[in-house]
A and B are shown apart, each in its own frame.
Chain A
């Protein structure tokens, strides 16, 4: 049975709660940040950068790109990292824990320690113009039951961001911002959905395939494959090809040999599909063929095809596949007419 910690009740109590005091953006809406944004986005619309262009379409001057909504309240990388590490180490004072922080902590405790953003929807009430001060208030809108996803088991959580314009000011406490927000004009909202999840246990990495036994007699064959060549031993006295490699020719008793490079074309002479036992280095069911090469020898090799489609007599062509630094093998696939 599942013995994991379940914070369903505590999490349900967070839904609908406003998360902490509202936060004020560190900068007023300004031209420099807009320019960087549209450069990065590749957006050439003149209404974001050219006062005359904006007026031409009936605006009263430059407006900020609507999708920058959240950018105006972002505190920057360093402040974000400090806040995250305080939460992770538990050093954030309990009195400072927002509903969002609580939610994240409870989800961590449930074992859902990983996070991925899944959706972001924004609604805009009106455009922002230069010189405006943006503030944001977070509300926990939804926390799902435990779901099992492709990434792992966890909960989806949706936080609503309500954006307001408040009078510009340099120094204000959280409570002062809250007072302003209470009577301010809302200019947009964002729903940000995350999946907090326990990553599925990473399956053990597949061990490498077994290596061949390489001797002075057969090294040319295995080294050839590493060089991308399917080599077949040839008697230099009578020309007979032989595989697997041997130091002498059974036809003429010569000990002299070299090799040819096979074109890798042939037909399936016989084949099997291995089901058991299952060795972790391989995927099953595992089709293996005995290929009669056009040059006249046979070779045992993997087949890159559905096992049920393998037929004796089928035309196939080899590719040399590097499985790792130490092992390359010919793999045969059907020749399409």
Chain B
């Protein structure tokens, strides 16, 4: 049973974001600066109080540039986390570890990109001759074959999962329908006021069979930042703290980056089970205690995998679990109440953490009445991370 020392002793106290768009019209560094500035203001602190910064290894904006741009002073902790969207909740975990260890009092986590108007991840890995190193040797082995994109990497696992569990494309639609329903009532969402039906989903074109366009997340320009500090300090700040009950990273047996195709089966995400064991073990809570969930949804099938790995339902049962509105606002386990990455924005998971904070504060547009506890996950198919947040009660 995991029991992380920092759990319950640290909190998220500030969130800030830019608008989410398809063409921001400004630099990625400008987006990052705007979001960090907004998060610091939301936390009710001043830039000189920030002592640590954490981001993704795929981030293009150096922490020191943002620090200079905002008058952030001495930094005593700075860290970057690998594996794309798998880093999302891990930024908060690292911030929590630093705060709990006394290395920094206030740590800002951030992610910013022009992922639609600039470098599009969905365009895939292209170019004739990749660099010769171990990281490229792995993904590079799929490039000559034409398996170049995140959608294609996920689709290969999903086809097997659907074959084994009897999950259909129409079953996957329930994820997209719920996300878009929630986005439809979220003015910050790109797909505000644009819900979809099962027919819309089934009529959307194939991207990589068995994935349709509406199974795939958006591509987004934008930025999101989050401020972490101790619960003790949080209690003196203006916003109600979102207490970090647990924060964990996980990598599993047979782990690869996006293409763990050589495991005993392709119907699980063992790395998310590693995260889940730590989240439940540390928090003393379980799936049944969650009032809502923010599950990383770059591609719809892996939401089903996560429900199973985190214990919300049994193996192979997710296709039935997600039916009949259970995952929609008002259902037993509302998912991705901001609209998720299919509906609100693809911010590499960081916007999902912000939604978790808003739900705990009670300020979300699709607020779950009386919400006390929420689980948030990071990118799947890669070494990943997760959080359990709750109110300070």
Contact = CB atoms under 8 A, between A and B. Distances in A.
Contacts of A215: 132-134, 137
A222 to B, nearest CB: 9
B132 A214 contact: yes
B262 A297 contact: yes
Interface stretch (B8-16, B155-163, B187-195, B353-361): B155-163
B144 A272 contact: no
Interface string B140-166: 111111111100100111011001000
Given A217-B137, A275-B206, A210 B144 contact: yes
Interface string A258-271: 00000000000111
A300 B266 contact: no
Nearest to A280: B126
A215 B130 CA distance: 11
A212 interface: yes
A85 interface: no
A133 interface: no
Interface stretch (A15-23, A44-52, A121-129, A282-290): A282-290
A312 B137 contact: no
Interface of B is mostly: loop
A147 to B, nearest CB: 35
B102 interface: no
A235 to B, nearest CB: 14
A317 interface: no
B122 interface: yes
Contacts of A274: 146-147, 149, 152, 208
Contacts of B155: 272
Q: Is the interface of A mostly helix, strand, loop or mixed?
A: loop
Interface in A33-58: none
A302 B148 CA distance: 13
A95 interface: no
Nearest to A275: B206
Contacts of B142: 300
A209 interface: yes
Contacts of A243: 262
Nearest to B126: A279
Contacts of B131: 213
**What is the interface residue range for chain B against chain A?**
35 or more
Interface string A232-252: 000000000011110000000
Contacts of B124: 277, 279
Nearest to A289: B156
A272 B152 contact: yes
Contacts of B123: 277
B147 A211 contact: no
Contacts of A272: 147, 152, 155-156, 159, 208-210
Contacts of A271: 156, 159
B140 A288 contact: no
Interface in B95-118: none
B159 A212 contact: no
A152 to B, nearest CB: 31
B95 to A, nearest CB: 33
A74 interface: no
Contacts of A107: none
A182 B11 CA distance: 110
Interface string A283-306: 001101010000001101110000
Nearest to B262: A298
A90 interface: no
A301 B262 contact: no
Contacts of A323: 144
Nearest to B127: A210
B136 interface: yes
Nearest to B147: A288
Interface in A74-124: none
A329 interface: yes
Given A213-B132, A327-B144, 9 more contacts: A208-B128, A210-B143, A212-B137, A270-B157, A270-B163, A272-B210, A274-B152, A275-B205, A302-B146
Interface of B: 122-134, 136-149, 152, 155-157, 159-160, 163, 205-210, 259, 261-262, 266
Interface of A: 207-215, 217-218, 242-245, 269-277, 279, 281-282, 285-286, 288, 290, 297-298, 300-302, 307, 312, 323, 327, 329
5 shortest A-B CB distances, which residue pairs? A213-B140, A213-B136, A270-B160, A210-B143, A273-B209
